[in-house]
Structure 1
């Protein structure tokens, strides 16, 4: 067996950063910037009001309550066509340009307009600049907005749109193919025959890829036929940036996937000192990374989290500190037992946050076939070799949700 960190290093070394591409901001969420973005214009572009109310000269309301003449109305989106003179006020809507002469805004709640709309009574004084958003208060021309390596969230995309940037240079989203093999696998709701099982891993992995920000590609279910499997793998590496398979990676396994990958790829078949997900295959076929994950459903998911997800995030340009899920501290709310076996265990647990830390309980059965407990889990608890943990013990967690 090899240590977890050594297996992860082998995988990461075989995953190269993808090309850059210019994409519309509508398709950029979750991608990583490959350029420095500087502001070509000010945000906001002009002084404007943060409130509905009246634009005034602050000196005119210093002795409030006072009554001012209403000189006009300004709506958001209109050019300022009126000036605020001494003893005057202009009705103004949120986002509208501050009119010449005004140096403050009184919010509407502190005013009362006369029935004929000719005057307004202001009940309180306000300082210069009250409720005014200044031009360039958020961004000024030439200011660096985003550096390369920034993961684009909805907020980032809003900033780009506010600057008139509707395209951005990023590292490409990885297209990742997922294939299932095996005559025993059944797709669809029809009754199972003797020895048959339903194909769950492919659907799980496709969903995990989408959640990780990749573009999942369903390569379908392929029968136990060497030629068909070879064709499926070649199709995957011809059309995708990476390929996932599940099953057939144990030391004792001999199936067509393993035979084909050994013939056409440069593969490493590893036994990692972890449980679940001990067996792992990784290599390259025609330069394309291929992840051979275990066949047991929970093992497949844990292997994806520990190996495929970090490798794919590296490929999509994420900074090194974002390849792996960061460990967080928790405390056991109940005992979690295991057997000493020379491996690190990743237990499926549920967590809740109280008193400044995560409290941790088992999510259910810990067998590598018990997918329902994995579905119920919020996190993986990292259990070092030994007998397990007792109530009150500290534990390291990988939060999944």
Structure 2
């Protein structure tokens, strides 16, 4: 399949301003450009959590395997119910894993436990707490306490043999592992973990443990990126801090390209202010430099580079710590899931009442760090964490959600409803 260039993709999209590209336009470019990495492996269930299914899993059995009781109680023929109180003679007992094999005539019943196979000819279970009276020999039922067919789970009701149990692209969660185990399936076909190389650029950056000279700062971006990538299920190649010069950057990009499926950089290379940066990217591959109509995170580069016959997608993120996290969440994250072959529905937005006014001009998307809570009536409300500067990483640590103020949206008054995305849905 021929992969389109970024220029070809841009020509198919509505008119745009390259110096102020909207968030939705940039997201569309990325979706149209990125291809999945289709390398499959089989892993045991203990190693399958968070992995992406590479094919549908078809159930080899019916779940449940037999009609069974949904309650502890008594099983009988539903046609034996009458408009008056009725006595049933107890003829046996059925346990989960040990069924009752004898016949059950009209007017007879079998004591059953939850999960027990329904005795032959029985189609109804009355829970033991609804029985009017009971002894070792019989029970008495009042009319109307159950209807024919009540409290019986049918064979194949949850999942029929030959039907898909889990679909290709599913990110496996704990319940999915339990479902596979319940079908007797011990291994899962999954996509190979995506390999993502990360490095930071900037002559002012120092790694933890190094001396912090005047005017220098510790590099935090690699640690937030590492955490977000691990939670996404990626294998991370941490290349440390790279000097902000042509030779160092080019060498790092070659190494990253040959060892990973995607590259995420923060600072320096994303801005493209130096002429050599754009020249180098043009030499290495198909990369565009964007100025996005958003806050925080205006400068960003995106594309694909190649080295020695291998290629990797490149996400050049801004250097400010909050801008790195925002651009990762709303651009890189979806692209990486797409590369994994994961079914990737849009992040769910929820509405909450803003507890204060928020100033904003239409014409750009803003992402405010927020703290979501419930008011006295249990309704969701949200407040900003305070100063929203793109270098204030503490604001992200304090927040539990992102307030999204959309491109055409203006200022928000206290009491207005706003869209929020919970951080738990981003990771």
Q: Which TM-score band applies after superposition, normalised by the shorter structure?
A: 0.7 to 0.9
C-alpha separation between the residues in 2 aligned to 1:144 and 1:234? 42
What is the aligned partner in structure 1 of residue 96 from structure 2? Answer: 76
1:304 correspondence with 2:328: yes
C-alpha separation between the residues in 2 aligned to 1:102 and 1:394? 55
Structure 1 pair 372–107 and aligned structure 2 pair: CA distance change class (3 A): same
Q: Secondary structure in 1 aligned to 2:93?
A: strand
- Structure 1 unaligned regions, length at least 5: none
Q: 1:217 aligns with which of 199, 222, 236?
A: 236
Q: 1:313 aligns with which of 337, 353, 365?
A: 337
1:333 correspondence with 2:352: no
C-alpha separation between the residues in 1 aligned to 2:77 and 2:417? 61
Does the Cα contact within 8 Å between 2:362 and 2:409 map onto a contact in 1?
yes
Structure 1 pair 232–78 and aligned structure 2 pair: CA distance change class (3 A): farther
The normalised TM-score by structure 2 is 0.77
C-alpha separation between the residues in 2 aligned to 1:190 and 1:356? 49
Does the Cα contact within 8 Å between 1:351 and 1:379 map onto a contact in 2?
no
Does the Cα contact within 8 Å between 1:22 and 1:167 map onto a contact in 2?
no
Q: Secondary structure in 1 aligned to 2:65?
A: coil
C-alpha separation between the residues in 1 aligned to 2:35 and 2:272? 27
Q: 2:293 aligns with which of 273, 276, 283?
A: 273
Query: By how many angstroms is 1:376 displaced?
Result: 2.5
C-alpha separation between the residues in 2 aligned to 1:386 and 1:142? 49
What is the aligned partner in structure 1 of residue 10 from structure 2? Answer: none
| Aligned pairs (5 A) from 1:250-399 | 250-252=271-273, 264-286=284-306, 287-319=311-343, 322=345, 324-338=346-360, 343-352=364-373, 358-377=380-399, 378-382=401-405, 384=407, 388-399=411-422
Provide Cα deviations, 1:176-201, integer angstroms capped at 9, x if missing partner: 22223455434446774423322211
Provide Cα deviations, 1:223-279, integer angstroms capped at 9, x if missing partner: 527666555433432332211111102243589x87865653433222222221111
Query: By how many angstroms is 1:165 displaced?
Result: 4.0
Q: Secondary structure in 2 aligned to 1:3?
A: coil
C-alpha separation between the residues in 2 aligned to 1:13 and 1:60? 64
Query: By how many angstroms is 1:127 displaced?
Result: 3.7
C-alpha separation between the residues in 2 aligned to 1:383 and 1:183? 35
C-alpha separation between the residues in 2 aligned to 1:58 and 1:110? 15
Does the Cα contact within 8 Å between 1:363 and 1:376 map onto a contact in 2?
yes
Structure 1 pair 77–380 and aligned structure 2 pair: CA distance change class (3 A): same
Query: By how many angstroms is 1:166 displaced?
Result: 4.0
What is the aligned partner in structure 1 of residue 14 from structure 2? Answer: none
C-alpha separation between the residues in 2 aligned to 1:391 and 1:186? 42
Q: Secondary structure in 2 aligned to 1:78?
A: coil
1:108 correspondence with 2:132: no
C-alpha separation between the residues in 2 aligned to 1:80 and 1:106? 17
Structure 1 pair 78–232 and aligned structure 2 pair: CA distance change class (3 A): farther
Aligned residues: 392
Does the Cα contact within 8 Å between 1:175 and 1:214 map onto a contact in 2?
no
Does the Cα contact within 8 Å between 1:347 and 1:381 map onto a contact in 2?
yes
Q: 1:42 aligns with which of 59, 62, 65?
A: 62
Bigger shift: 28-37 or 235-244? 28-37
Does the Cα contact within 8 Å between 1:53 and 1:93 map onto a contact in 2?
yes
Q: 1:2 aligns with which of 20, 40, 44?
A: 20
- Structure 2 unaligned regions, length at least 5: 1-18
Does the Cα contact within 8 Å between 1:179 and 1:220 map onto a contact in 2?
yes
RMSD (Å) for aligned C-alpha atoms: 3.6
Provide Cα deviations, 1:75-102, integer angstroms capped at 9, x if missing partner: 2122444443465443322111112243
Does the Cα contact within 8 Å between 2:220 and 2:321 map onto a contact in 1?
yes
Structure 1 pair 342–30 and aligned structure 2 pair: CA distance change class (3 A): same
